Each structure stands twice: as structure tokens, then as C-alpha cells.
Structure 1
Amino acid sequence: MIGQIQLRGMTWSDPRGYDPLVAASTSFRELYPDVDIVWDKRSLQGFESTPVEELASIYDLIIIDHPHVGAVVEKNCLLPIDRLAPEDTLAQLFAETVGKSYPSYFYKGHQWALPVDAACQVQALRPDLLTEPVTRFNDVIAQAKNGRVVWPLRSPHVLMSFFTLLANQGAPFPVTQQSQIDFNAARNVISTMQTLAALVDPACFDMDPIAALDALAEGDQFALCPLVYLYAPYGRIGYRPHRIAFHDMPSLGTSGPFGSALGGTGIAVSSETKHPEICTKFALWVASANIQRGLYSENNGQPANAVAWSDPLVNAPVGELYNNTRMTHEAAWLRPRHAGYMAFQEEGSQVLLDALTGKTGPDAAISALQQRFEESFCA
């Protein structure tokens, strides 16, 4: 029976993004019988690029990516979660977050979303084909020379790999205006990426993480994906023909699995909703430890709550992937979030693709990245 209050939510189409929210909405209706939440979904590419302000005029609840935060604050299209949420509840969620997931949605004095999904670039492998994770990027190159590596290079993931490897060397990409890219570190990263790109199947240039993980799981050609966003459902037996194991990222620098580009998602409330109180209640409920470690993770969800990440019952069905990638997530790097960043993310990805395909040289690519990043603050 449809409730008296009908809410619309927008998420992304992968089971990881859709299934847990549908399950949570069904359970939430048991607590609030007059509330009915219906979820629509868009593709991963649409999730990464669609302006949130377009969605906020239609939907009450929106799953967002933290780099959108600067733009949504400028457009005033989301309701600050802290306006209606109890301060002590928010403090508890902050204390329970994995890595920088919670603060990634804090911008200009307000909390604009609550993390419900934590992710960063980690290592994925086929445990039946590769018995141990690799620890150094030289080992990745060695595997690639044997045709065993798949690597998602479709925009924006080529830029995410650049970000990850740059930060891993101790020279993270700038996040503020008039900050300079470390030229020598960036040149080394691009050189490493060029070496690997020349060894992998050209089809990688059209792959996002889902496509790369499918290629890893469905045949016996590939054994390793060195940098890919964590996708917990692939750790379940039966989700794909072969189970994938996830581990901490391989290191290019000397500090271990440090600096992976943070991903994940948060749940936000539209500033145009007619039901801000109940939307906030639902957001807090979905982000809570009990829901994250229970029905959320049980329904293909990938929780952001550290209580869930530490729970043996959450880890066991997915091959201990939360335990095995925890260090990388805790040491992840937070991307820029200013209003012009999303356009730069697209432009920067193309700059790197041109460098990896030989259309431009590393020095020219670094200069272009620096120029376009500066211009993004004036957009």
C-alpha cells in the first residue's frame, strides 16, 4: 500500500548502488508506514557526470559523489544535513566513518551528505590465478608483460589512477588555487602509466571499473587489476563466474598503500523537498551502524560505516575484502571539490588519455593539467 508521503530517490544503476537502498526503503516503511520511497537509477557514467542541481528539482533524496559538493553548494540545491540532524548523531557517524568518507561531504561549514558507501582505488585479483597480491608497481608491470593485467582507463578513471599514483609518491595533486603540480613526480607517474598502458589490451581505454571487473571475473585471460574502485559484490561467490579478491593497492612510492583517490557515495537531501524532516531521518538511518552492518551489506551494499567494515559477519561473505583493503581506505586522498572541479575532471582525463596514446608528451600534459586546473577556479 502506497504511503501518504511519497518520496523519490535517485541512485546509480549498479546493484551496489540500487539494491541496498530499495531494501532499506522497504524496512523503513515498517517503521514509518505512511512513507513510501521509490528509487530511480542512472548509469555509472551518468552518476559521475550529471549535475546534481538537475536532479534536485525532481528528487527528494539523491546519492551523490563528493567532488560534486562545491557545485551543489554554489547552486544551493541541497539541504545541509546538519540543519535538521541531531548534533550527537552526526558526531557518532563522524567517529564511525571509514577514512575521509564523512568529511568528504563537509564543505563551507556544513555537512551536505552522509556517507553510505566507502570506496577508493585498490587492487583486484583472481585468487585462482594469482595466489598473492602484488605490493609494488614493478610487479604490476611484470604481470602486464605476460598479458595478465586489465586496467580501467575510461574517463574519469584514468585521472583517478594519476591522482592515486601521484599521492602515493608523496606529491598529491593540488586541491587549492595557485598550487603547483610536482613536475618531477607527475612526469614519473605519467611515464609509469604509459609503460603499463602500452602493455594492456587497448580495450582498457573504453573500460570503467565495472567493465574491468567483469573482464577479470568472466574469463581466464586476466589475473590482476592494479587500480580499481572497490566493488564488494564481486567478492561474493556466485555474483560472477569467478570470485574476485580485493587487497591494498600496489605502491609506486615508498610509503605503502597511501594516497588512493577516494570514491564512494553519500546520501543527500534536496533543498526543494517538501519533506525535509523525514528525508533527514531516512538518511541518518541508512548511514547508521546497525543498518550498514545488516540489511545494507546483505543486499549488495558496500557500507561506509567502520563498524560494518570491522564486522566478521560482513567480511566473511565477500572474502574479507574490507579487512584486506582497510589500510588503503584509511589512507585515501581527498579530491578537489570546488565548484569548477567537475569540468576539470573531464578535461584532465582527456589530457591524460592523449598522453597515454602518444598524442602529446608528458611535459605538455602536465602543463595542460596545471593550466586547466587553475582555470577551473574561474569557471
Structure 2
Amino acid sequence: MQTLKALTWDHPRGYNALAAAARLPELAEGGLAIEWDKQPLEGFESHPIADLCARYDLVVLDHPHVGEAVDANCLKPLEDIFDEATINLLSAESIGPSLSSYRFAGHHWALPLDAATQVMAVRADLLDGPAPVLWDEVLMLSQETGKVALSLAGPHAALSFLSIAVAFGEPPAERDPDLLVSEQVGVEVYDLLNELAARSPHVVGDLNPIGILGHMATHYDVALVPLIYGYVNYAAPERGRPVAFHNAPRLEIGGRPGSTLGGTGIGISRRCEVTPALKRHLLWLMSAEAQIGFIPSHDGQPSRREAWHNPGVNARWGGFYSNTADTLEQAYVRPRHNGYIAFQAKASALLREAFLENTPARNVIDRLQALYADHRGTKGGER
């Protein structure tokens, strides 16, 4: 019997389906056992990937870690395990950039288990009309109600900045990998965030997305969060009111919904012995059977496009998937060079401090660009 140690993150969406799949009789019949451990969301976002791969055979990771992983040589590329036809099929079946986000330095480094991006979260019963579509409407709602909250804790201040830049027509570091954002767009994005942050309810200021959504479901002081990573579980919570999810805001009608890709992938560490039984299990997790049936029924959030448009899946979860699929299809993929994770953490801290002190926009943009340049160099070269 082969026993593998595996690590995911501590939330029903990250753990329940994987743990239940590991108990399926087919695994034992194939001579395979997988023991899933959990780490907090904050560890998933920032813990060094090389350390995790030294201790685990399978690691659920976020795509910005792949540059760090490549430099540490701690993951096996999917091309060493699966043939080209299988990888091409996975790419075609995955929603948005769910698989391509794990491609770096000429290889793919994780299987797209779970798809997510920043979307708009709404307590429909606390609004007088429909959910806003444009950033101007979000700003007006904030001014009128004081119940528009931002997700700013951890890396999320920087992620919100990146997303609004996308909506404003300038995906960061995309045209020029050495330039985070132009001064003009950077100032516009900062000024919008700064005004929203000034009125964002303080009660959720230190909470991660899970904490904010849990608060929204059980309190009445947050009516809307314009950018927050979608968690399907809160569309039909066990306690409290349902949170409705909509596409991320746009600058103008027909514009791109600005949003930064999240989601998770399963990476295979260098220490792992890949057997036929393990390959079968991993590909089953990507299959229509698992992604449309098994994973959603065990609190998971699938990565397969077919599942996001499945009527049965949407009926169970209040239209969460169909209401936000457009945002996911157009989601922005962050830089993945070694050093990006450190930049993201420091940029978020810089922005939170700037909001508190109402720092002039141009000063903040100059400091963000300098910080980005400091963490841009390193090896790997590829975004």
C-alpha cells in the first residue's frame, strides 16, 4: 500500500471534497492511501512552497507560487507525468485561465482543482435596488449607505488594486513586465480605493474573505463587497442569510470586469512517487463526474467550465456559478516570478497604511513601483 501525505487549506471548500475522495474504495483497491492535512488560509497564501514540498507529496497551492517553486526545483512538471493530449484536454475543459495560470518557464506545475476569482458579494435584502454593475455605482452606494466594505486584510489590498487597474484598462505588468501600472491609472485606482476605504465598516477591516462573508451572512452592517474571492458555501449558508454573488464591477457597460484570479491547484512534489493509481485518481478529480457531481456535493468549487454552467449545480447554489462565470473567464493572472509573493504582502501593507494616513496618490504609486522593481529581478524571467 502506497501512503501519500498531502496538504490543503483549512476550509470546507479546500478540504471536504479531497478528504472524501481519499476515502473512496477505488483508492485502496489500487493500493493507494492519501492522508490530507490542513493549513490556515494565511499559510496557503504565503508559506514557502519549498518547505511544504519537503514534507508533503501533494500540495494544494496558488498559482503565484510557481515561480518560487521553479527556482526551488520542488515540484514535478505535469509534462513529466501526463501526455500532451491529456494536458491539452484539461486546458480546453478548465474555465478561464485556471490551468494556464500554472504554466511558467515552459511547463505546467499544478492541476486546476478549484476555480475562483474576485467577484461582488451582496446582501440583496439590504439593497433598495439591483446590485451595481459599474464602479461609479459602487461609489454612490458607499456614499449613500456606508455599508460598502473592502477586503483589505492580508494580500487583498494589493489584489483589489490590481483588479481595479484591470477594469480601468491597464492589467498590471502585462504590457511591460517591469512596470506595475502607469501613474495616471495608478492614481485613479488609488483614489477610488482610498475613498471607499474611508467608509468601509471597520468591523471587517482585519478579516480575510472567509471572515467577511461569514460576517455578511449573520450581520446587517455590510450590504456589499465589490471585490472579494467568491466562496460558494455562503450562497447557501448553514446559518444566517444567503450572500448573492455577481460579476466584478466594470468601468463602463460592456467593459472588462476587473478581477484577479485565485483558485487552487494540486502540485506534485519532487518527493512523490507517481504511480498509475495516483495518476488515475488525480485525473478523476478533474473529470466531469467529479467536477459536476462529487466536488460540489462536498462543498468544493469546481474548475471545469461545464460545471459552472450546469443547471443543477447552479440551482443548488443560488446561481453562484452562472452569475460570476464571465468574471472568471476574463480574470487577470498575476505575475508569477520568484519574489512576487513578497511584493504582494508588502504592497498590501503599504496600501493599508496609505489609506489610514490619506497619503497623496502619486507618492503611493511611486512607492508601489519601487517596491515592485525591488522584487521583480530574480531568476526565471517569465511571468
The TM-score bracket by the shorter chain reads over 0.9
Question: Quick one: distance in 2 between partners of 1:115 and 1:45?
Answer: 20
Q: Is 1:78–2:56 an aligned residue pair?
A: no
Q: Which runs of 5+ in 1 are unaligned?
A: none
Provide the C-alpha distance between the structure 1 equivalents of 2:279 and 2:75, rounded to a whole number of angstroms: 12
What SS does the aligned partner of 1:222 have? Answer: coil
Q: 1:180 to 1:77 in 2, by over 3 A?
A: closer
Does the alignment pair 1:199 with 2:199? yes
Q: Quote the Cα distance in structure 1 between the aligned partners of 2:206 and 2:29.
A: 44
Q: Render the CA deviation track for 1:134-155: whole Å, top value 9, x for unaligned.
A: 1112222232231222221102
AA paired with 2:213? L
1:355 aligns with: 354
Work out whether 1:285 is the aligned partner of 2:290: no
What is the match of residue 364 of structure 1?
363
Match of 2:345 in 1: 346
1:151-196 alpha-carbon deviations (Å, 9 max, x no partner): 2110201111100000110012115643352111110110000110
Q: Report the counterpart of residue 17 of structure 1 in structure 2.
A: 14
User: Equivalents in 2 of 1:244, 1:172: separation in Å?
Assistant: 28
Question: What residue in structure 1 maps to residue 38 of structure 2?
Answer: 41
Matches within 5 A, 1:179-190: 179=179, 181-190=181-190
Distance in 1 (alpha carbons) for counterparts of 2:53 and 2:322:
36
- Structure 2 unpaired stretches of 5+: 379-383
Aligned to 1:297: 296
Q: Is the 8 A contact 1:149 1:226 kept in 2?
A: yes
Q: Distance in 1 between matches of 2:34 and 2:27?
A: 12
The 1:255/1:141 distance shift into structure 2, 3 A limit, reads same
Is 1:230 aligned with 2:227? Answer: no
Number of residue pairs the alignment of both structures matches:
375
**TM-score for both structures, normalised by structure 2:** 0.93
Q: Residue 212 of structure 2 aligns to which amino acid in structure 1?
A: A
Q: What are the superposed Cα offsets for residues 118-141 of structure 1, whole Å, 9 maximum, x if unpaired?
A: 111111111222352211122222
Q: CA deviation at 1:249?
A: 1.0
2:327: which partner in 1?
A: 328
C-alpha separation between the residues in 1 aligned to 2:69 and 2:366? 29
Helix, strand or coil at the partner of 1:78? coil
Which residue, 129, 132, 148 being the options, matches 2:130? 132
> 41-50 or 275-284: which moved more?
275-284
Identity %: 37
Question: CA distance change for structure 1 residues 28 and 108 in 2, over 3 Å: closer, same or farther?
Answer: farther
Secondary structure at the residue paired with 1:128? helix
- CA–CA distance in 1 between the matches of 2:146 and 2:180? 36
* Runs of 4+ in structure 1 over 6 Å off: none
Matches within 5 A, 1:101-112: 101-112=98-109
Partner of 2:265, secondary structure, is strand
Greater Cα offset, 77-86 or 352-361 = 352-361
Change beyond 3 A, Cα 1:283–1:309: same
SS state at 1:57 partner: helix
Give distance in 2, aligned partners of 1:137 and 1:377: 30
1:258-273 paired onto structure 2 within 5 Å: 258-273=257-272
C-alpha contact 1:12 1:43 (8 A) present in aligned 2:
yes
Contact 2:31 2:277 (8 Å CA) reproduced: no
Deviates more, 1:67-76 or 1:129-138: 129-138
User: What is the 5 A alignment of 1:299-318?
Assistant: 299-318=298-317
Q: Which of 120, 139, 158 is the equivalent residue of 1:141? A: 139
- CA gap of 1:188–1:82, structure 2 versus 1, over 3 A, is same
CA RMSD of aligned residues (A): 1.7
Q: Could you tell me whether the CA contact under 8 Å between 1:5 and 1:36 is conserved in 2?
A: yes
Of 126-135 and 44-53, the range deviating more from structure 2? 126-135
Q: What is the one-letter code of the residue matched to 1:62?
A: V
Q: Is the 8 A contact 2:201 2:222 kept in 1?
A: no
Give SS of 1:227's match. Answer: strand
Per-residue deviation at 1:369?
Answer: 1.1
Kindly indicate whether the alpha-carbon contact (under 8 Å) linking 2:152 and 2:348 is maintained by their aligned counterparts in 1.
no
User: How far apart are 1:252 and its partner, in Å?
Assistant: 3.2
Deviation per residue, 1:187-240 (Å, 9 max, x gap): 01100001101111223331211111111111122221111011011112x433
SS in 1 for 2:303: coil
Q: Which moved more, 1:321-330 or 1:149-158?
A: 149-158
Check conservation: 1:23, 1:296, Cα contact below 8 A.
Answer: no
Question: For residues 341 and 306 of structure 2, what CA distance do their matches in structure 1 show?
Answer: 31
Match of 2:381 in 1: none
Aligned to 2:112: 115
Q: In the alignment, what sits opposite 2:242? A: 243
1:221 equivalent in structure 2: 221
Q: Residue 53 in 1 paired to residue 57 in 2?
A: no
Deviation digits for residues 64-119 of structure 1, max 9, x if unmatched?
00000000011010011121113222211110111111100011111100111111
The answer to whether the 8 Å contact 2:201/2:221 transfers is no
